[in-house]
Amino acid sequence: MSRSETPAYAGVNSASTIMSKLSYCYRVNERVVLVTGAFVLCTIIVALGGIASDPSSSGTWTGLRLGSGGLNDFFGGAIQHGYFSVEKSKIDENVFRFASVTDLDQLSRVGDEMLFRSILVPGTLTYDPHTNHYSIDFEPPRTLFSKHNEGGRGMELSELKIYQNRLLAFEDRTGMVFEILSKDGGNDSYVVPRFVVTEGPGETDKGMKWEWAAVKGKTLYMGSMGKEYTNPDGTVANSNNLWVATLNDKGELRREDWTDKYNVVRKALGAEFPGYLIHEAIDWSESLKRWVFIPRRVSSEMYDENLD
């Protein structure tokens, strides 16, 4: 061992001896010390980052996206707050704001482009207590565009629902849930996708065929037509449309098999399989504390595409 590699020349006190030994160890194992130190530092940074970005640690997200609000600020990846409200849509006790949206099926496509449209029509519903009549005043229509599609079909919007102060639209080809946002000072609107949900228990790449949505408490329920998908001969291909998806106020997605619930309504209307119901209007009644079903079609006979 050469003189420069030895821990010799100890000082007159123990502190000097320790420092000499540490200096010697560092010179001999410099590479190991640097790698170990870098690993420890990286571990500390990752751990601190996990704590800072964990929504459960403080109720706010302080990771990559900073915000001053709670979890709802980032519902579906959105940064801005929602600005629609069921309560604010009530102008007074007899006047209400509303909106309707179109499902144009194959006419949704714009020419030969991979561009698709739906028409949003806001309006005002007025009740006259003296005549017991309602009147509707429509505002100029707004065209919503999107390039998102499945098999050349898109923007076939089948439902509107306000949830978490966000106006959501549900597309029955792609399984997309869009948020409708305002532009030009509120004089026009556009859509952005928030969620894409596949049908059934989620083991397929086919988009959910949305037909209805309902808010129960803090949960958004989203469902399809409530009927099995059948082959031309009437046999069942799958029961994916008997499932519903739920979103909570944190944007967490769950799925529920609603076969039993749909069958209760089927039985009550004498449409048990091979008969069927087709649903497009299901909602939760807060006043009744019950689910309300208004079927679009009721048949006690086996499904036939032409007869239907």
Pick the CATH number of 73-299 from 1.20.120.80, 2.120.10.100, 3.90.79.10, 3.40.50.1970: 2.120.10.100
**Is 211 among the annotated ligand-binding positions?**
yes
**Is 272 among the annotated ligand-binding positions?**
no
C-alpha neighbours within 13 Å on the C-beta side of residue 213: 26
Predicted pLDDT of residue 3:
42
Report the predicted TM-score, pTM, of the whole model to 2 decimal places. Answer: 0.76
The burial of 107, by beta-carbon neighbours within 10 Å (0-12 exposed, 13-18 middle, 19 or more buried), is given as exposed
- pLDDT digits 0-9 by tens, 46-75: 343 443 333 333 333 222 223 334 445 667
**Is 280 among the annotated ligand-binding positions?**
yes
| Pairwise CA distance, residues 290 & 285, whole Å | 5
Q: What is the mean pLDDT of residues 117-143?
A: 97
Where, residue-wise, is CATH 2.120.10.100 in the chain?
73-299
- pLDDT digits 0-9 by tens, 207-226: 999 999 999 999 999 999 99
